[in-house]
Structure 1
Amino acid sequence: MTFKEEIKRRRTFGIISHPDAGKTTLTEKLLLFGGAIHVAGAVKSNKIKKTATSDFMEIEKQRGISVATSVMGFDYNGYKVNILDTPGHQDFAEDTYRTLTAVDSVIIVVDAAKGVETQTRKLMEVCRMRHTPVIVFINKLDRPGKDPFELLDEVEEELKIKVRPLAWPMGSGDQFQGVYNIFEESLYLFTPNKQTLEDGIEIKDIHDPQLEEFVTPRAASTLREELELIDGVYPEFEHEAYLKGTLAPVFFGSALNNFGVRELLHAFLKLAPSPRPSITDKRVVEPEEEAFTGFVFKIHANMDPNHRNRLAFVKICSGHFQRNTNYMHVGLKKQMKFSSPTAFMAEKKSIIDEAFPGDIVGIPDSGNFKIGDTLTEGEILNFKGLPSFSPELFRYIENADPMKSKQLAKGIDQLMDEGVAQLFVSQFNGRKIIGTVGALQFEVIQYRLLHEYSASCRYEPINLYKACWIKSNDKAELEDFKKRKNQYMAKDKYGRDVFLADSSYMLQMAQESFKKLEFHFTSEF
C-alpha cells in the first residue's frame, strides 16, 4: 500500500459527552465491530486505563469514572480506525480538551432523556474553536426520552450548530421499534441484544407498502410524516459543511443494545475526514509531506507501577514514523531515537516498527517531554492548539515534609508537565498556587506526589475566582496595571503574566478600566 493510501484509510476521532451518556459503552461496541474485542464488556472490565493503572487510579476504581483518555486502534473494512475515548467527568476536562487537538473529527454522544448537558456544551466550544467536524449520536432510545424533534432543536440551540438527521427513530422507550437509516435508505428493526448484529432491510421508497410488513401501520404512517417534515425543516446534508464543522449529521440508537452503532460506524467511515493539515507557528503541515512531524498531546506517568515509567502520546501529523530512527526534539534541540514505540489495541499495548499520519504512538519517556513538544526530522517548528484553560479552583501548595523539598519540587514540575493542573507563583509573596478545573485533581496530585515521589504536601485555601493571561502593546498601561494589582499578579511556569482575579466583579472592572489590555482565558493567544 502506498504512503498516500495509508493516510487516506485512516480515521482518528474522539468520542465526547457528559458523564453517563454512554460514551464508554459506544466505544466498546465500536471495538466489537472492529473485531478488537470478542465480547462486549471486555473493554470495561479490562480497559487500557485498567492495565495502565498507576496507583492513583484507585480513585478511578473507587468512583467508577474514566480519569484518563484511552487510545484504541483497529482495522475495519479496509480502514484503520483510531478511537480516543475521553474522560467525561468535568474534573478531568483538561485532558479531554487536549485530546481534541489530536483528533480529526468527533462523535458527540447525547442521552435521549437528558438532552445536551453542561460538559457537552463546553467540549463543543473546543470543537468550534478548531472547526472540528462533529457527528451527533443520540443514545438510549430504548428508554423513555424526549421527542426527537425537541432533541434536535436542543442540539442546535445548545451546541450552536446546524443539524441534519441521517437516521430517524420509530418511537422510544417501550414503544421503540427501530430506526430508518436515511443515509443508506434501509430499515433496522429493534431487538434488544447486547452481543449480535442485525442486518437492515433495504427500503428505497419509504411509501412502498412493503414497510407495513415490518412495522405497524400507525408506526409506518408516523415515520412517513416525520421524514417529510425533516426534508421540509432541515437543510440537505452537505458533506462540505460537515467537514467545515458547521453542520452535524445526527444518528439515533442504543449503544448498550448494540443498536444503530454499525450504521453510525459505516456512515462515519464514509463521511469523516482522513488526517487533516496541522497548524504550526511557522506554516501549515500537510499529512502527505515526506518529512516526519508529530506532537505530544498527553503524558501518562507511571503506566507500569513496577517500573515507574512515563509514556508520551504522540500524534503523527506528517511523514512516515519509524522505530530506531533519529528524530529531533525541537524544545531540547537534540536528536532522539525510540527503540520501543507502542500502539494501543483496546487493552493490549504492542511495539510497532512504523506509523503513519493520524496514528497515535506511545513513546517511553524518562522526563524529556512535556505537553505540546514537537518531534521533527530537523525542521524547527511548534504545533499550535494545545491550550491550557483558565483554572477555576485554586489552593496554595505547601511542603509538609521539609526533608523532601527536592522531591516535592521535582514531583510538582513533572505533574505540571503532564498537564494535571497549572502552577502559578504569586509575585506578591512568592508562594506556589495550584490551579485546576476540578476539585478531584487536588486529591490526584496529593496522592501521586506521595506515592510516586515520596513527597507529602498540604493545601491552604485561597479565595480566587479566575486566572487570566494578560498582554498589551501598551507597555506603560501594562506596567501600571501590574503595579496596581500587585497582590493579584502571578507568573505561570513559562514566566508569562497571569492576573488572579478574586471575583467576577473585580475582573469586569479591570477589563473596563484597562481598555488596552488583552485578557485571555486560554494560555494560547
Structure 2
Amino acid sequence: MTENSAGLATATAGSTGPTGPSEDRISAEARRRRTFAVISHPDAGKSTLTEALVLHAKVITEAGAIHGKAGRRSTVSDWMEMEKARGISITSTAMQFPYTSPTGQDCVINLLDTPGHADFSEDTYRVLTAVDCAVMLIDAAKGLEPQTLKLFEVCRLRRIPIITVINKWDRPGRDPLELMDEIQARIGLRPTPLTWPVGIAGDFKGVLDRRTGNFIRFTRTAGGATAAPEEHLEPGAALASAGVDWETAVEESELLSADGSDFDRDTFLGNATTPVLFTSAALNFGVNQLLDVLVQLAPSPNGQIDVDGQRRPTESPFSAFVFKVQAGMDSAHRDRIAYARVCSGTFERGEVLTHATTGKPFVTKYAQSVFGQQRSTLDTAWPGDVIGLANANALRPGDTLYRDIPVHYPPIPSFSPEHFAVVRGTDPSKHKQFRKGIEQMEQEGVVQVLRSDRRGEQAPIFAAVGPMQFEVATHRMATELSAPIALEFLPYTVARGVDAAGAEVLKNQPSVEVFTRTDGVLLALFSTKWRLEGFQRDNPDVNLWSLVAAGDA
C-alpha cells in the first residue's frame, strides 16, 4: 500500500478475479467516490472554500489564505505565480483526499477547483465534463452575477446536479429569502435550503439545520486559519443562546416548508431543485455541513456516455478521458501532466492502454495522484478518480484511453474566440523554444493557435475567449520556456467556421481574414458583426456557421 501527499492510502487491487478486481469491488469503490467542481463568479470565495474543505477533512492543519494583499499566502489550489500575485484562480486544479463523515461513512473526495473569471471559461467547461456534481458559490451581498448564470446554464445543459452555497454570510449582505427568490426566478431551479442562517448577513452566529431542527453554533478562530469549533444545540437551548435571531430563523424555515421548499433527493438529481447551505468560508463556518452533504447526497460515478450515446458502466474494463493538460507545475520537473477522469474499471500503474484517437499504445509508467501542485506516485485508481499522467506528450484535452473493449468519449469543443493577436518572438536566438512554446500553449488549451500562408509560420495567431488568456500565455512563454514574445492585436471580433469553397470567396474580402486552427478547422475572422452580416447578405451561398460560445456549450 502506498500513500499520496494528501494522506490518501492507495492500495493495490484486492478481491481480484483472474483478470483483475471483481465487478463488485469496482462498484463498491465507485460508490465511495464524490467527484465535484467548485464554480462561481470571480471573488465569491471559491479558492478559500476549497481550502476550507481540505482543512475540515483534516488533510491540512492550517488554511493558507490570508485576506488582504499584504502578506498574502496562496491557497493550496492556487500555485501559479500569477495566481499568487493577483489572488485569483487562473487554472483549474485537482485535489484528492479521504474523508470520513460523522456517521462513519468513508469516502474519497475528488475536488476540482476552477477559475471563475469569464476569460477562462474554456478551462472551467473542460472541468465540468469530468465531474458528477457542482458546488455553485454565490456571494451573499451580490447574488447571482453574470458568470454565475452562465455556469448554472452549462451545468443544467450537461445535467450536472448543483449544490448552492451562499458564502460570506459573516459580511453585510442581502436578505436570505430574497436570495432564494432570485435563484428560482433567474435560473428556474427551486432552492431547497438544508441549513438556514441564524443572524443576519454580517452577524453570523450559526445555522438552523432544517433536517434535525437543531442549532449549529459556530465559534471564530484567529483569522479563520483553523477549523471553527461548533456546538449542536436543541431548540430550547438554541432559543436561550440566540434569542430573537433563532426565532426569526425558525419562522423563515417554516415559511420555506409551507412553500414546498424542503429538500427532495430525486428532484435534486433530476436537476429541478438545488439544495442550499449558508457559509463563511473565510471563517470556516458551515464547511463541515457542506462536506457531509456531499457525502450523503451528491451522486457517485454512474458510467459515462460515449460518442454513440451509450453509457459505459463503471464495472466495464478501464476507460478514462483527458479533460486537461498542464505543464509548468514544478520548475524542477519540465514535464507535462494530463489529467484524466477514470470512467470505468480499475487503473493500475504500468498498464498499457490504447489511445482511442490514434489507436497507439500508451504506457502508464508515470501515473500520479495530484494535490494542487503536489504529486505522489499512484498505483491504483477507480471510477470517479482523477489521475495525473506525466510526460503525456501525445495526449490532448478530450482524448480517450481504454483497455480491452474500445470506447470513444465525446470530444471537448473549443469555444468561439473573440480576441486575436499576432505572436512574434522577441529573441531570434530562441527560435526553437518559441516554436515549442507555441505548440505547448495550444496543446494545453491556454489559447487557440491559428495559422495562414499569408502570415507564415513565424507569425502564428493567438485566439482567445478573453484577453487575460494572452497575459497567461505571454507570462508562461517568457518564464517557463525562456521564449519572450510580443503581441500585435488584430482588429477582428467575430469568428465563424467556413468550408474550403467559402474560404476561397473570402480570400480577397476587405476586413476579413481566413485562418486554419490546429485541429484543421477553417475560421473566418470578421472585423465586426455588421461586416459579417453584410458579407452574408451579399453572398448567401457561402456556408458560415457559428462556433460554440462560452456559456452556451
Which of these residues, 43, 50, 69, is aligned with residue 20 of structure 1?
43
Moved more, 238-247 or 5-14: 238-247
**1:238 partnered with 2:264:** yes
Matched, 1:98 2:123: no
Is 1:440 matched up with 2:468? yes
2:328 equivalent to 1:302: yes
1:226 to 1:451, Cα distance in 2 relative to 1, 3 A: closer
Aligned equivalent of 1:198, options 230, 236, 239: 230
- Inter-partner Cα distance in structure 1 for 2:282 and 2:293: 19
Of 35, 44, 55, the residue aligned with 2:58 is 35
More off after superposition, 229-238 vs 328-337: 229-238
TM norm structure 2: 0.84
Q: Distance in 2 between matches of 1:461 and 1:46?
A: 32
Superposed displacement of residue 361, structure 1: 0.6
1:373-452 aligned within 5 A: 373-384=399-410, 386-426=412-452, 432-452=460-480
Establish whether residue 162 from structure 1 lines up as the match of residue 190 from structure 2.
yes
Q: In the TM superposition, what whole-angstrom CA distance separates every residue of 1:41-98 from its partner, at most 9, and x where no partner exists?
A: 3899465556xx5xxx332232222222221112112011111111223333322221
SS of the equivalent of 1:26 reads: helix
The runs of 5 or more residues in structure 1 that have no matched partner are 204-208
Structure 2 counterpart of 1:389, which letter? Answer: F
Alpha carbons of structure 1 residues 403 and 221: separation in structure 2 relative to 1, 3 Å: closer
- Specify the alignment match of 1:502 in structure 2: 527
Matched residues in 2 for 1:49 and 1:262: separation? 19
The CA distance in 2 between the partners of 1:29 and 1:454, in whole Å, is 36
Partner in structure 1 of residue 515 of structure 2: 490
Residue type of the alignment partner of 1:212: L
Residues 376 and 366 of structure 1, relative CA distance in 2, 3 Å threshold: closer
RMSD: 2.9
Q: Is the 8 A contact 2:47 2:75 kept in 1?
A: no
Counterpart of 1:288 in structure 2: which amino acid? T
SS of 1:25's equivalent?
helix
Q: How does 1:122-521 map to 2 (within 5 A)?
A: 122-193=150-221, 194=224, 195=226, 196-203=228-235, 211-216=238-243, 218-345=244-371, 348-384=374-410, 386-426=412-452, 432-470=460-498, 482=506, 487-507=512-532, 514=540, 518-521=545-548
Change (3 A) 1:325 1:222: same
Shifted more, 333-342 versus 374-383: the winner is: 374-383
The structure richer in helix per residue is: 1
Sort the Cα spacing of 1:491 and 1:329 in 2 relative to 1 into closer, same or farther, 3 A. Answer: same
Q: Quick check: 479-488 or 128-137, which moved more?
A: 479-488
Unaligned runs of 5+ in 2: 1-14, 16-24, 67-71, 101-105
2:301 touches 2:314 (CA, 8 Å); kept in 1?
no
Query: Match of 1:73, as an amino acid?
Result: Q
Q: CA deviation at 1:234?
A: 4.3
- Tell me how far 1:445 sits from its aligned partner: 1.7
Give 1:142's aligned amino acid.
D
1:89 to 117, 133, 139: 117
SS in structure 1 at match of 2:44: coil
Aligned length: 510
Amino acid at match of 1:215: A
How far apart are the structure 1 equivalents of 2:274 and 2:49? 18
1:327-385 deviation per Cα after TM superposition (whole angstroms, max 9, x unaligned): 11122321122223111345642211100010011111252221111111154443225
Amino acid across the alignment from 1:74 = F
Cα distance in 1 between the residues matched to 2:258 and 2:215: 21
**Code of the aligned partner of 1:358:** G
Supply the distance in 1 between the matched residues of 2:503 and 2:201 (Cα, whole angstroms): 62
Structure 1 counterpart SS, 2:546: strand
Q: CA shift at 1:457, angstroms? A: 2.7
Residues 185 and 147 of structure 1: is their aligned pair in 2 closer, same or farther, counting only changes over 3 Å?
same
Measure, in 1, the Cα distance between the counterparts of 2:109 and 2:535: 48
Name the SS for the 1:168 alignment partner.
strand
Counterpart Cα distance in 1 of 2:497 and 2:186: 28
Q: Secondary structure at the match of 1:199?
A: strand
Normalising to structure 1: TM-score of the pair? 0.88
Deviation for aligned residue 1:393: 1.6
Sequence identity (%) = 38
Assess, with a 3 A threshold, how the Cα gap between structure 1 residues 354 and 17 changes in structure 2: closer, same or farther: same
